[in-house]
Structure 1
Amino acid sequence: MSAVEPLSSDHPPLGAREASELFADLAAEDRLLVAVSGGPDSVALLSLLTEWSREPGRPAVMAATVDHGLRAASAGEAVAVAALCARLGVPHRILRWEGDKPSSRLQERARAARYALLAQEAERLGGAVLVTAHTLDDQAETLLMRMARGSGPSGLAGMRRRAVWHGTVLVRPLLGVPKARLVATAQARGLSFVTDPSNGDPRFARARWRALAPLLAGEGLDAERLSLLAGRLARLDEAVAARADAVAAALLSAEPGAPLLRLDFEALRQEPEEIVLRVVALALARLDVDAEGAVRLERLEACVAALLQAAQAGLPLTRTLAGTVLTLRRDGELALRPEGPRRRGIHPAAT
């Protein structure tokens, strides 16, 4: 490992007091599993968190490195992380992504494999909280990528500081910290790190967005501004989600002994369209036809628009979406049932 980026007075390293504030909500946890790739962000996080955890009553810290096996150097980098953890007194495991690697959507599938391996390790450790080193820059890139994909409000809220991924609690304590400050932190502490060459590979979408960052910042759309937007959207999303949950509880009912839901669509259409969309998405998720995929937002929007138009005219309508048959009656009741042998994926957020 080697540090290659120069120190900058514009980006001071994180100190113990600031780190303590960032980690405050982790104090009540029993154990933490830190994901350490060997890059400057995760190396700095590991060092700061290990130092913080030495105070009485703090949670135990463990670490894991995922070796994706995609580069010849990855195995050696994982061993170097293990050596660093040994020096810091942190238990460490190398998790390997075994089997044939995909020829398409490589970064997306590598990310899914990485989180699956880390979640398994967290479970093995007795339900440890997974801690990652996502930064302010990562949040900005994520927001831009989701905007380009046409994500809805939930997606544009960006990454959350605390989330649950397949039953594993995931915390990102450095989400408001610029990457440059973590590079400075690693250097100030004499910690060596690696730079993954894929971070600048234009074959990958995130690298292309990263290359555009200076140009966007020059127009005022820097990481801080994008992160602020994500935070505001997250605040709005929480309020809308709470209203949608309340409306669904009042208007959605299950048919006893049958995979059938009934929704008072006539009452629902009096709500703002965003609430209508979310309640229908919640109904689809409740049927749980196929949890492996996600209904695209534009398909949900088109289906709900057709239902609203039919309800306005007092006409019946049948549509299929995400492996579900939606049948609107003239009286405004909407029935939802599984489509049958042909199955499609759904996702409760529908973003």
Structure 2
Amino acid sequence: MSRPDGLSSGRPLGLAESAALLDPWIGPGAAYRGAVLAVSGGPDSTALMGCAALAGRGVPVIVATVDHGLRPASTAEADGVAGLAARLGLRHRVLAWTGPKPAARLQEVARAARYRLLADLAREAGADLVLTAHTLDDQAETVLMRLCAGSGPAGLAGMAPARALGGLTLGRPFLSVPKARLVATCEARGWPFVRDPSNTDPRFGRARLRRLLPLLAEEGLSADRLVRLAGRLRRDEAALSEAAEAALRDLRRPEPDGEGRLVLDGLGLAALPEAVALRVVVLAVGAVQGAAARGEASHYPARLDRLERTALGEILPALREGKACRRTVAGLLLAAGGGRLTLGPEPPRRPRTPRPE
């Protein structure tokens, strides 16, 4: 039996299947010292906690519930997670997000606060891994959201199974599992869970897109196909990134004026395929911004669309034609000329001279 969005209907995870998903992270012989399980009380994270409790003892784990304080029921939900964790024999901590809450971009800011609190707890506990219960459905929604935002291949590659998180690792062991199977697992095991009303709140873009998925699936754009797209783009993006990193090493030239700038062989850069050349510029911008950050200078992240317009539309054509071109991006000056591309901090702007009255 199939669901309207193309996902398989709810079939509980068996012990062997859940162990295969979790063993690389927390099973006997896993490479991590300890793990924090992010558990909100919803069916996905409740299944993560329950399956971890059933798994063979390997890496020590601690369950963490972040109470954002955004809904009256959040404290009771955190208490419910604590009760189930105790029943399963797992340690539990409630992490409170305190302080004023923003009126705009609430979900984005709350997500950043959640990861910060989880990482802080991991360091305190001597753990080096944070596990979340993102599912195949979450991956499909992420890809669709980024498609609507006009993201490039890196964005459409979706969420990675693992990524860095402030010197730790953030892992997503259930990223290939449909949500329906985790709901069925909780129901079959008698693990109580709650449903977050924000998941269906039309004020939030993800919730609005979630309602569209069944309609898109009827036209062939199912969650499974969105996830396959993400996997293909992740594979291609990895190859392009590796090529760009190698090209940056080959094209880098000594900096004549010391630190704070990066010089590239402009003719070699312009001869690269544009997809690789753009990534070389992105990496170079990131390297200069990283050096500036260590020197306590402040820069804001460069937007891909702005870098794309500047690099592909102006800098690379100027290098090919032997013309000079100077453009500022994200607080940096990109200067093409003399067969080179130089990146460095944007010079301070001259104060305007007031007009005589």
Give TM-score scaled by structure 2 length.
Answer: 0.89
CA distance in 2, matches of 1:151, 1:195: 30
The superposition leaves residues 186-234 of structure 1 with CA deviations (integer Å, 9 ceiling, x where unpaired) of 0000011100001000000000010101101111111111111100100
Map residues 174-189 of structure 1 onto 2, 5 A cutoff: 174-189=174-189
Deviation at 1:340, TM superposition (A): 4.1
Distance 1:71 1:215, change over 3 A: same
CA distance in 2, matches of 1:127, 1:83: 23
Amino acid aligned to 1:90:
L
How many residue pairs match? The answer is: 331
Amino acid aligned to 2:273:
P
Distance 1:23 1:213, change over 3 A: same
CA distance in 2, matches of 1:212, 1:222: 10
CA distance in 1, matches of 2:59, 2:16: 18
Aligned: 1:309 with 2:317: yes
Aligned to 2:272: 271
Map residues 165-204 of structure 1 onto 2, 5 A cutoff: 165-204=165-204
Aligned to 2:352: none
The superposition leaves residues 151-192 of structure 1 with CA deviations (integer Å, 9 ceiling, x where unpaired) of 111111000111112222011000000000000000000011
Aligned to 1:52: 55
Deviation at 1:292, TM superposition (A): 6.8
Aligned counterpart for 1:42 among listed residues 10, 21, 45: 45
CA contact (8 A) 1:38 1:194 kept: yes
Amino acid aligned to 2:306:
R
Distance 1:262 1:172, change over 3 A: same
Once the two structures are overlaid, the 10-residue window that deviates more, 68-77 or 291-300, is 291-300
Aligned: 1:238 with 2:238: yes
CA contact (8 A) 2:299 2:331 kept: no
Aligned: 1:280 with 2:294: no
Deviation at 1:131, TM superposition (A): 0.5
Map residues 68-147 of structure 1 onto 2, 5 A cutoff: 68-147=68-147
CA distance in 1, matches of 2:161, 2:49: 17
Percent identity between matched residues is 51
CA contact (8 A) 1:252 1:283 kept: no
CA distance in 2, matches of 1:64, 1:312: 55
The superposition leaves residues 17-38 of structure 1 with CA deviations (integer Å, 9 ceiling, x where unpaired) of 1112112321312211100000
Aligned to 1:33: 36
Aligned: 1:253 with 2:253: yes
Distance 1:15 1:279, change over 3 A: same
CA distance in 2, matches of 1:216, 1:9: 16
Deviation at 1:9, TM superposition (A): 9.1
CA distance in 1, matches of 2:79, 2:19: 29
Amino acid aligned to 1:298:
D
CA distance in 2, matches of 1:283, 1:312: 19
SS of 1:221's partner is coil
Aligned to 1:339: 346
Aligned: 1:24 with 2:23: yes
Aligned to 2:328: 320
The superposition leaves residues 302-337 of structure 1 with CA deviations (integer Å, 9 ceiling, x where unpaired) of 1112011212221111111111111111x3101111
The superposition leaves residues 22-63 of structure 1 with CA deviations (integer Å, 9 ceiling, x where unpaired) of 123213122111000000000011000111133xxx111211
Gaps of 5+ in 1: 1-7, 343-351
Distance 1:201 1:212, change over 3 A: same
